[in-house]
Amino acid sequence: MSGGKLGGNQHLVLVSGLSGSGKSTALGALEDLGYYCADNLPASLLADFVHHIRSDPDWYQRVALGIDARARGTAITAIPDWLQQLASEGLNCELLFLTAEPGVLLQRFSETRRRHPLTTDENALPAAIRKEQALLEPLKERADWVMDTTTTNIHQLRQQVWKWAGERGDAMTLVLESFAFKRGVPQDVDFVFDARCLPNPHWVEALRPKTGRDKEVSDWLNKDPSADALFTEIRDFLLRWLPRFEDAQRSYVTVGIGCTGGRHRSVHLVERLHAALAETYPLVLVQHRDLPA
């Protein structure tokens, strides 16, 4: 493969791994960070694609490509050398590889009833998983980061990718996460705020099925002075201290806001904080851990 010389300010991430390990979630997380993402690009077209992004480095500053076992054969085995060539030509390129234990992959395919891309009439699911592991082993060996998602859920995976990518970016990534205290405090949060002191829309029958994203819930909460006061104090606290984290070269900060069920009060505050802080921080991401996907 040959893609030509690229500008050093461009960043290319290849996302590969076993089917069912979370590649689509990882690509979605990178897209949240402003990456131009393309999935299932045939490996034989990689050189042409690199030539294309080279023509417009300002638009394609950050690109993420999903590569899986459907791009088989010599094209896959050639990718490690191709990445090395691009790196020698000045392109910042990395390979992120996702994997999981075979038993967990079997369970995930059984639960979602998705078809494994290598499954045929003669190739049952366990055999397809083994075949895919063998096909992708050259990429796993070359990977800059291998992420095992055996015990990782979608929300945790998204956070891990955000953190990994944030460490490679210029601007600090700020994640605002709502959660339910009854399901535990999220891992790896830097700040935790408790919204259980606010009036609870759960006890209003018309609001119970709605969430903090709905205008009716927000309007109801905003009528109470305590909700506005808590929002204002959290916002001002973050605006006061986040610059100190930037000065300390922190690339990734997570703020958790919890309430009892993670549905109304915490969601409302996260959405409101997102609107307020996005004016100051270009990379503010929102995650509602305990709302249905």
For 35-51, write each residue's pLDDT tens digit: 999 988 777 778 888 88
Model confidence at 65, pLDDT cuts 50, 70, 90, reads very high
Say if residue 121's pLDDT is above 80. Answer: no
For the chain, give every residue range classified as CATH 3.40.50.300: 11-166
Instruction: Please report, as a single letter, which amino acid is at residue 13.
Output: V
Say if residue 206's pLDDT is above 90. Answer: yes
Say if residue 12's pLDDT is above 50. Answer: yes
Stated length of the chain: 293
Contacts of 103 (CB under 8 A, 6+ apart): none
Q: What phi, psi does 38 have (nearest 5°)?
A: -140, 135
Whole-number percent of the chain with pLDDT over 70: 94
What CA–CA distance (Å, rounded) separates 282 from 293?
24
Average pLDDT over residues 122-135: 84
Range list of H helices, 1-90: 23-32, 46-54, 74-88
Please give the angle made by the CA atoms of 271, 286 and 241, to the nearest 5 degrees.
Answer: 85
Average pLDDT over residues 103-111: 89
In 3D space, the residue among 185, 146, 183 whose CA is nearest the CA of residue 22 turns out to be 146
Sheet bearing 173-180, strands edge to edge: 191-194, 252-259, 173-180, 284-288
Count the neighbouring beta carbons within 10 Å of the beta carbon of residue 173: 22
Q: What angle, 0 to 180 degrees and rounded to 10, lies between the N-to-C axes of helices 23-32 and 154-166?
A: 50
11-166 maps to CATH 3.40.50.2300: no
pTM higher than 0.85: no
